[in-house]
């Protein structure tokens, strides 16, 4: 455990400087060593100071990516093993191993993106939407173009992304400036299925119409409600 005398906080993990003030951290002696060496921590007043300084909860300041990778690895191996066991028991083909691998790849990508963008979950959802849409197009192409990516995958992903953003905004209580542009970007992407309908690229129109209608309502409701916040964010990011 390390200690910052300026901020009076304990710092866990492998930090050499304080993440709050940037000053050099010192190694905090244990209570036993402090009492044995006659340091101030052995006195009553010293104990009170140490107790006061460690009033903050001991929370790791860095995300434990190693545990996430270990868990995902175990889940992936178990899923592949379960696939082969099912094949050996029932003796017929449910679906190809490539679909299992595709699902695992999507899971890994989702976990990595949300970990890297965890400080801005709405932005992470936009990344996931774009990546999954491109992946669906790619796999639809390599497995023989059937149009399921345009007919089902992308419209459903757009609706799911907007719903996920709405839920996260309500749960996390984000400020308008933290999510407004990403929400509008996702709504604009949800209007793309209209192009699929006009170009006759889809087999069934209903998923695309749902995506277009939902995105249209979301875009204009947010625009009318947060017009000022949208303009402020645009001027801030474009340095107008």
Q: Please, what is the angle between helix 227-238 and helix 206-225, to 10°?
A: 90
144 conformational bin, left if phi > 0, alpha if psi -120 to 50, beta if neither: left
Query: Average pLDDT for residues 203-229, to the nearest whole number?
Result: 90
Going from the C-alpha of 113 to that of each of 33, 135, 170, the distances in angstroms are 44, 14, 21
Going from the C-alpha of 120 to that of each of 68, 106, 173, the distances in angstroms are 19, 20, 12
Query: Who wins on pLDDT, 119 or 95?
Result: 119
Domain residue ranges in the chain: 2-53, 64-113, 117-238
- Residue 228's pLDDT is what? 82
- Distance CA(35)–CA(19), nearest Å, equals 29
Lowest mean pLDDT among 42-51, 74-83, 133-142: 42-51
Model pLDDT for residues 173-182, shown as the tens digit of each residue: 667 777 888 8
Query: Who wins on pLDDT, 92 or 228?
Result: 228
- Distance CA(175)–CA(204), nearest Å, equals 38
77 by Cβ neighbours in 10 Å (0-12 / 13-18 / 19+) ranks as exposed
Count of all residues that appear for the chain in the document: 240
Q: Is the pTM value of this prediction over 0.95?
A: no
């Amino acid at each position: 455990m390390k200690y910052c005398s300026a901020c009076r906080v304990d710092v866990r993990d492998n930090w050499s400087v304080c993440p709050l003030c940037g000053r050099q951290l010192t190694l905090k002696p244990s209570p036993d060593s402090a009492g044995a060496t006659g340091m101030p921590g052995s006195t009553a007043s010293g104990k009170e100071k140490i107790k006061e300084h460690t009033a903050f909860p001991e929370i790791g300041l860095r995300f434990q990516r190693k545990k996430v990778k270990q868990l995902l690895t175990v889940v992936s191996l178990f899923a592949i093993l379960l696939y082969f066991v099912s094949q050996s028991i029932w003796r017929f083909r449910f679906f190809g191993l490539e679909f299992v691998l595709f699902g695992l790849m999507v899971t890994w990508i989702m976990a990595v993106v949300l970990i890297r963008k965890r400080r801005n979950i709405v932005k992470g959802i936009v990344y996931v939407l774009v990546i999954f849409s491109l992946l669906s197009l790619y796999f639809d192409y390599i497995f023989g173009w059937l149009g399921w990516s345009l007919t089902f995958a992308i419209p459903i992903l757009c609706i799911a992304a907007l719903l996920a953003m709405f839920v996260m905004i309500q749960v996390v209580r984000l400020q308008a400036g933290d999510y407004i542009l990403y929400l509008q970007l996702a709504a604009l992407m949800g209007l793309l299925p209209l192009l699929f309908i006009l170009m006759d690229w889809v087999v069934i129109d209903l998923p695309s119409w749902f995506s277009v209608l939902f995105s249209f309502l979301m875009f204009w409701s947010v625009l009318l409600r947060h017009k000022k916040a949208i303009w402020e964010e645009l001027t801030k990011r474009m340095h107008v």
